[in-house]
Amino acid sequence: MSLTNFPGAGSSPAGAPITKVTMPALAEMKRQGKPISALTAYDYATSRLVDEAGIDLILVGDSLAMVVLGHDNTLSVTVDEMLHHTRAVRRAVRRALVVADMPFGSYHGSVAEGVRHAVRVVKEAGAEAVKIEGPRIDLVHALTDAEIPVIGHLGLTPQSVNRMGGYRVQARTPDSVLRLKDDAHALAESGAGVLVLEGVPREVATAITAELPIPTIGIGAGPDCDGQILVFHDLVNMTFAPPAKFVRRYADASALIRSAVEHYREDVEHHVFPSDEESYHLSAAVRTTLEDRKLRQA
Ligand code: KIV
């Protein structure tokens, strides 16, 4: 078996062989100064498109709770819901690294509980790494010992929304900048392979990226991180709310889908859909037989 290509990874739609993105590959990208592209995705169809577009890392984020399930924050999503969506993503993805968020409550009670839930995410859903929020150093050690690659997440950590009193940019004072840097170093030293930096000043993310041996992936952290991640629904305008400052909308899927659905409804209402060409027909022979039988019955 090849060590670089998973069985079944096969080739891209264009026919080129696919080399699977792995945690060591991300470390190598940092060494080579190659930017890492990352996006969230939560279902089969979207994940296929994201993977086929060449994104390096797909995160089944707990933002699932908000952008897919309609909750107000990320706190309510469960391990079972994360498993369900991670499985769908895993079935779609051939090249990107598939990472699953550990949901709120699944690792906050104890290290043992965190490891048990992370094992489920890897074993039952096929995630290749898990992401955890905050400087949970003991848990990162334990997951690393359990052969589960870990992605840390510092700065604006949405699972801390109640403690933070809202979604606020973090690390704006000297003390909090130094604390964040210490936490970043501690996570890298305890075995985290990648660090997501969310909602922090550019200067802070730049310094941490330069100091850390592991790649940083920014969201609302400026352009100097080793990679960038956005929530898929933000990228294509499917979030039904004004975007945060750091979001760039690359397409208006809401407008596209709304217009397609309205057009369909109008066609149904005006008997324009389906047309005769979009209908199945009996063969001429069957039609003749039916006509004959009708005549004989008459
Ligand atoms: O859940 C999420 O979407 C995240 C981000 C880093 C985008 O954690």
- The predicted-structure confidence for 235-252, as pLDDT tens digits, reads as follows 999 999 999 999 999 999
Closest CA to 234 of 220, 216, 248: 248
List 11's β-bridge partners, or say none.
17
Residue ranges of the alpha helices (H) in the chain? 23-32, 44-52, 64-67, 79-92, 111-125, 137-145, 161-164, 174-190, 202-211, 232-235, 253-269, 284-297
191, 144 Cβ separation under 8 angstroms: yes
pLDDT of residue 93: 98
> Closest ligand 1 atom to the C-alpha of 198?
6
Q: Whose CA is nearest to atom 8 of ligand 1?
A: 61
**Residue 51, both tokens:** 């993977």
**How far apart (Å, rounded) are the C-alpha atoms in residues 226 and 29?**
8
Out of 133, 198, 269, 291, which one is annotated catalytic? 198
- Would the pLDDT of 9 be above 90? no
What was the pLDDT predicted at 2? 45
Position 17 scores a pLDDT of 80
Output the CA 58–ligand 1 centroid distance in Å: 10
The set of residues, in sequence order, having a beta carbon less than 8 Å from that of 180 and lying 6+ positions away, is 154, 155, 170, 171, 200, 204, 208
For residue 194, what is the enclosing H or E element?
strand 194-198
Q: How far is CA 212 from CA 31, 85, 178, 183, in A?
A: 11, 32, 14, 11
Statement: residue 154 has pLDDT above 90 = yes
The burial of 139, by beta-carbon neighbours within 10 Å (0-12 exposed, 13-18 middle, 19 or more buried), is given as buried
Residue 113 in contact with residue 107, Cβ under 8 Å?
Answer: yes
Q: Does 51 sit in the ligand 1 pocket, CB within 6 Å? A: no
pLDDT at 5: 47
User: pLDDT-based confidence at 1, cuts 50/70/90?
Assistant: very low
Residue 71's pLDDT is: 97
pLDDT tens for each residue of 10-19: 666 667 788 9
User: What spacing in Å lies between the alpha carbon of 5 and ligand 1's midpoint?
Assistant: 28
Ligand 1 contact via 231 beta carbon (within 6 Å):
yes
CA atoms within 13 A on the CB side of 228: 13
Q: Is the CB of 106 under 6 A from ligand 1?
A: no
* Whether residue 102 has pLDDT greater than 90: yes
48 Cα–ligand 1 center, Å: 19
* Cβ-contact 177, 155 below 8 angstroms: no
* Residue pair 136/190 in contact by the 8 Å Cβ criterion: no
Q: Which residue has the higher pLDDT, 103 or 17?
A: 103
With a 6 Å cutoff on the Cβ, whether 229 touches ligand 1 is yes
Active site residue 266: no
Atom of ligand 1 nearest to the CA of 67: 3
Q: What's the confidence (pLDDT) of residue 8?
A: 46
Q: What's the angle, vertex CA 38, arms to CA 131 and CA 212, rounded to 5?
A: 65
- Decide: 198 and 161 in contact? Cβ < 8 Å: no
Q: What is the pLDDT of residues 20-33, one digit of tens each?
A: 999 999 999 999 99
Q: Is the pLDDT of residue 151 over 90?
A: yes
Ligand 1 center–CA 30 separation, angstroms: 21
Q: Which atom of ligand 1 is nearest to the CA of 40?
A: 3
The answer on pLDDT for 100 being more than 80 is yes
pLDDT higher than threshold 80 for residue 124:
yes
Question: Confidence class of residue 296 from pLDDT cuts 50, 70 and 90?
Answer: confident
> What's the rounded mean pLDDT across residues 171-187?
98
